[in-house]
Amino acid sequence: MSKISGYKYIRTVCCGTQYRHLNFSSISFQQDVYWTDGGGLRNSSLSTYGVKVCNCGEIFRIPEQIKLPIEICDTTNENTPQNASLDDMMRFLLKNEEANTDLVELVRRSMWRVRNDDFREAYIDKSNGEEVKFELDEYAKENIRKLIEFSLKSRYVNYFEIAELHRELGNFQEAREAASRIDANDASLRKVQLELIEKNIQQPTTYTP
């Protein structure tokens, strides 16, 4: 259960716009079903990884903004930060193509998941009985390749995600190598990826841990 204990106020670093956001004293993401790409429902915090867009068009995350004490806030201002759209993120990456920052990595990860949302929704809604095809365009593939580069440089490498990214690209050999490096404590996760790899399945898939 999530417990809401009022609002917190921030001022963005980019242009000083004030926003308020819900203050979750305890957030729980209890789920029965998970997606292998870590995505969730469109526009949920799981889907965008907390990547927000400011009124001025800049991309930001709430923790990096200026926290405002309630005394100096305009509490009548009910502006809430919006999740960044695909267009917002593409614009951001165009400007920050070569930047090597955590925010660029987060945006790439978020964009990867948001681009999988179309597939996710079609897959959930199989009401017309049609086979749902998983396809990546060149831009999506390039984004995934860059995300792999970023992820491999992390202090803690998430091999489940690396296996997932390679698998979605159809690079099953690399996916298998990454899956074999998933920590032994996460044997069930390793099994999830290896089974998909054995079947040459590229699409993100739901699983129950």
Long-range contacts of 4-12 (CB under 8 A, 24+ apart): 8/67, 9/67, 9/68, 9/70, 9/73, 9/75, 10/62, 10/65, 10/66, 10/67, 10/68, 10/81, 11/65, 11/66, 11/68, 12/54, 12/56, 12/58, 12/60, 12/65, 12/66
**58 near Zn ion, rule: CB under 5 A:** yes
152 binds Zn ion (CB under 5 A): no
Least distance CB 180 / Zn ion (angstroms):
44
Q: Establish if 105 lies at the interface with Zn ion (CB under 5 A).
A: no
Q: Which stretch binds Zn ion (CB under 5 A): 56-64, 104-112, 121-129, 137-145?
A: 56-64
Using the minimum distance from each CB to Zn ion, give the nearer residue, 17 or 158.
17
Angstrom distance (rounded) from CA 96 to CA 124: 34
Contact segment (CB under 5 A) with Zn ion among 55-63, 107-115, 121-129, 193-201 equals 55-63
Instruction: Determine which residue in the list 7, 11, 14, 207 makes contact with Zn ion, applying CB under 5 A.
Output: 14
Q: Does 56 sit near Zn ion (CB under 5 A)?
A: yes
Q: Is 88 in the site for Zn ion (CB under 5 A)?
A: no
CA distances (Å), 189 to each of 36, 126, 157, 172, in order? 9, 26, 15, 17
3-class SS at 157? coil
Among 4, 15, 66, 187, binds Zn ion (CB under 5 A): 15
Structure tokens at 176: 């298998």
Q: Which two tokens stand for residue 47?
A: 């889907």
Among 12, 83, 151, 171, binds Zn ion (CB under 5 A): 12
Residue whose CB is less far from Zn ion, 9 or 35: 9
65 binds Zn ion (CB under 5 A): no
Binding site for Zn ion (CB under 5 A): 12, 14-15, 54, 56, 58
